[in-house]
Chain A
Amino acid sequence: MMKFRAAKASIEEILIAGSADCYRVIGYQHQQTGADEVDNLNRTVQVFYSSGDFPKSSGRLTGSTQHDIIYRLDLMVSAQTQGDVSTLNSPMSLPAEKSIALDAFLEAGNVADNSLDELIELIYQVLMDPQNYDMGQTKGTVSSRWIDQVQKDQPIDRGELVVLTASMFMRLRTSEDITGESGTAGDIQEVVVDIEGDEVEKTGVIIND
């Protein structure tokens, strides 16, 4: 398996190990994710191999080749409006208390934005931790890695909820090898050389084809 595939799997494992139940790492989805599936701490991260660059010298016949990889991490959160609902529902609350509670509500878009910022921070801290420099690969496989861009999208109104997505782009440099084809061992050919006049000691040569 080429290293870009192995590294992708390692990134997913690293994210899973560092999630602390604050987010979920998901794979390919059969259908569009519902807004209510990613609310609060059910927010999701999905890893894709986005693009790769190889230098011209990678066309040579022998040796490994440099691979500059970009992984895209898609983040998704959703949120409801948040506030002191218990005060509003309490029969003991005074109208003035309810008024204050209502006034302090946070809009769903605001809550989603804060949640996404927190998720971006979590992902960045996990992946850029020095312990993960090799991205779960053998030492020396990854020559460098860094998250170079974060891009937030516009909030999406999903009825009761607001959905917010973002993409983080992680660059990683490694080297790839061409595995080629392994030769197949041939049958052993036994050749007997008869020397004229040598009736006693027949000389033979074994040739491996």
Chain B
Amino acid sequence: MALTNLRQQAESDLEHTLEGSFALPVILISPDGLELSVTGQVLYDTVKDNPETGAQIVVNHPAVTLRRSSLSQVPLPGERWFVKIPTSPSETGTLIDFVIDSDRPPEGGTSIGFIRLYLRKAEQTP
């Protein structure tokens, strides 16, 4: 189907920018327990301000950016989702366990066609 406007074009471009050569496998488990396997952009580090010193620091705080149209169910603020991403930027890397950071709701929206999830590491209860 021919694209009629720039917004549709921009959304279509997400297939390349988020799900193209730089994409990594991402597995999501929704609050209903349903598993979604998609690909998306995974960034492992985030630049933040150290609240104690005010200086900028780089912390291990992964963020996953996904194309909304590729998701059968889109995470909503306040929902708890389980997320698995590779340990390193490799399609065949071991997947490690995270949950969506409850202190940072998902960013993005329908207008821009993608959603960014900030992750918090998860471990087995002893």
Chain B binds chain A: yes
A interface vs B, CB < 8 Å? 35-36, 80-86, 88-89, 93-100, 102-103, 105-108, 156-161
Q: Name which residue of chain A comes closest to B121, CB basis.
A: A160
Q: Which residues of B contact A88 (CB under 8 A)?
A: 29, 82, 97
B34 and A106 contact, CB distance less than 8 A: no
Q: Which residues of A contact B125 (CB under 8 A)?
A: 82-85, 106
Count of A-B contacts judged by CB separation below 8 Å = 83
* 10 A-B contact pairs sorted by A residue (CB < 8 Å): A36-B60, A83-B125, A85-B97, A86-B124, A97-B33, A100-B33, A102-B29, A157-B48, A160-B60, A160-B121
Q: Contact mask B23-41 → A, CB, 8 Å, 1/0?
A: 0000001011111000000
B interface vs A, CB < 8 Å? 29, 31-35, 46, 48, 51-52, 59-62, 80-82, 97-99, 102-103, 119-126
Given the complex of chains A and B, what is the CA–CA distance between A86 and B82 in angstroms? 12
For residue A117, give the distance in angstroms from its CB to the closest CB of chain B. Answer: 16
Q: Which residues of B contact A108 (CB under 8 A)?
A: 120-121
4 closest Cβ contacts across the A-B interface?
A: A159-B61, A95-B33, A98-B33, A159-B59
A158 and B33 contact, CB distance less than 8 A: no
For residue A37, give the distance in angstroms from its CB to the closest CB of chain B. Answer: 13
Given the complex of chains A and B, what is the CA–CA distance between A95 and B120 in angstroms? 22
Q: Which of the residues A81, A83, A99 comes within 8 Å of B31, measured between beta carbons?
A: A99
Assess A82 versus B62: contact at CB under 8 Å? Given A95-B32, A103-B80, A159-B48: no
For residue A19, give the distance in angstroms from its CB to the closest CB of chain B. Answer: 18
B122 and A107 contact, CB distance less than 8 A: no
4 extra A-B contacts, CB within 8 A, seeds A85-B122, A88-B29, A99-B33? A97-B33, A102-B82, A156-B52, A160-B60
Q: Which residues of A contact B34 (CB under 8 A)?
A: 95
Q: Which residues of A contact B80 (CB under 8 A)?
A: 102-103, 105
Q: Name which residue of chain B comes closest to A41, CB basis.
A: B126
Given the complex of chains A and B, what is the CA–CA distance between A161 and B122 in angstroms? 9
